[in-house]
Amino acid sequence: MDHETNIKPEILVLAASPSAAVMAQLEHAFHCHHLWRQPCEAQPEWLAGVAGRIRGVLTTGAIGIGPALLEQLPRLEIVAVNGIGVDAVALDATRARGIFVTNTPGVLTEDVADLALTLLLSAARRLPALERHVRSGAWEHGMPLAPTRALRGKVCGVFGFGRIGQAVAARAAAFEMRTRYFQPRPVDGVAVKRCATLLELARASDYLVVCAPGGAGTRHAVDAAVLAALGPEGTLVNIARGSLVDQEALVAALRDGTLGMAALDVFDNEPHVPAALRELENVVLTPHVGSLTVETRHAMGQLVLDNLLAHFGGRPLLTPVA
C-alpha cells in the first residue's frame, strides 16, 4: 500500500505470473489493470482509459516496455521486470524520466543452468534422434546407429560468466569437462581460464554455451566466424537471448556442416522459429523454458512483487537495474 495514502497504487500488468500465490498478493496490495486479459483489438482504447493513473508496470524480459507505451504513462514510477533480461526495456527513456527498473537476478540461476546442461547433453548424445529411432520402430527393425562422443575431457566454453555462466561451468566440471570463458571484463576470484576474445573461446571449445546478456552491444556476437571457429564437431548451446546469435548464419552453418550441432532455448523473433531451423535434424529446440519450474517462477514473481512493495512502501529496492 502507498506509504503516503491509503489508496492502492494502480499498476499495469502486461503478463501474469504463473504463481497463483503471487497474483493473489498482487491483487491484495495494488489496483491491477491487466492488459494481457484484453483482446488485442480493444487494447488501445482500454489502455487510454487507465494510462493516466498508472504508477507501476509489471512486465517480462521478453515483453519489456518500449518508448511508445512509456509516453502514454505520465505518472509511471517503476517498471518491474519478471526476468533477468532488460534489453526489451527502453532504458534510455526510463533513465531520462527517473523511472526505476527492477529485474529478478539470482532466483532463476540454478534452473537455467540445469537446462543449459540438459540441452548440452541432449545434443551430445543425440537424444531427440534416439527417441525417434525407438518411436519409429527403427530399433526393432535393426536399423544401425552411429555412436556419439563422451563429454569427459571436452571443453565447455561459456560466453558470459555471470551467475548463470558460472553455474553452467560448475555443472560442466561435474561431467569432467574442461571449462573456459569469455566476457569483456575478467571475473575476479574464479579458477576458470578466460579467453581474450569470443573467437578464441570458440576455437578452444567443443561446446559453446551462450549466457551473456542481450542488447545492442551483443547483437549477433555469435556470427558466422564464431560458428566456423566452433567447427563441424562443435555444438552451440543458447539459453540467453536469441539476438546474440546470427540466426541466418546459424542455419547456414548447420546446413552445410560448418557447425556440427545446436541446442537452442531462445530465438531471434520468439515465438516464431523459422521453418529452415525447425526442419534441421542437427538441432535441439525448446520454447524458452529455462526458468519454467514451479519453484523458480514463484520465486521470480515474488521478487517482482517485493520490489513493487518496497518502492511504494518507501523502502530501498531489492534488485534495481543500474
According to the model, what pLDDT value does residue 322 have? Answer: 86
Q: Is 270 a catalytic residue?
A: yes
Closest CA to 12 of 40, 67, 52, 39: 52
Q: Are 222 and 244 in contact (CB under 8 A)?
A: yes
Q: For the whole prediction, is pTM greater than 0.75?
A: yes
Q: Are 240 and 211 in contact (CB under 8 A)?
A: yes
Q: Is 220 a catalytic residue?
A: no
Q: What is the percent of the chain with per-residue pLDDT over 90, rounded to a whole number?
A: 97
Catalytic residue among 126, 180, 241, 297: 241
| Cell numbers describing residue 296 | 523458480
pLDDT digits (tens, 9 = 90+) for 242-294: 999 999 999 999 999 999 999 999 999 999 999 999 999 999 999 999 999 99
According to the model, what pLDDT value does residue 102 have? Answer: 98
What single string gives the DSSP state of each residue in 224-241?
HHHHHHH-TT-EEEE-S-
Domains of the chain by start residue, with CATH: 10-106+294-312 (3.40.50.720), 109-285 (3.40.50.720)
Q: Is 77 a catalytic residue?
A: no
Q: Which neighbouring-strand residues pair with 208?
A: 157, 236
Q: Are 298 and 290 in contact (CB under 8 A)?
A: no
Catalytic residue among 33, 171, 288, 311: 288
Catalytic residue among 233, 270, 279, 295: 270
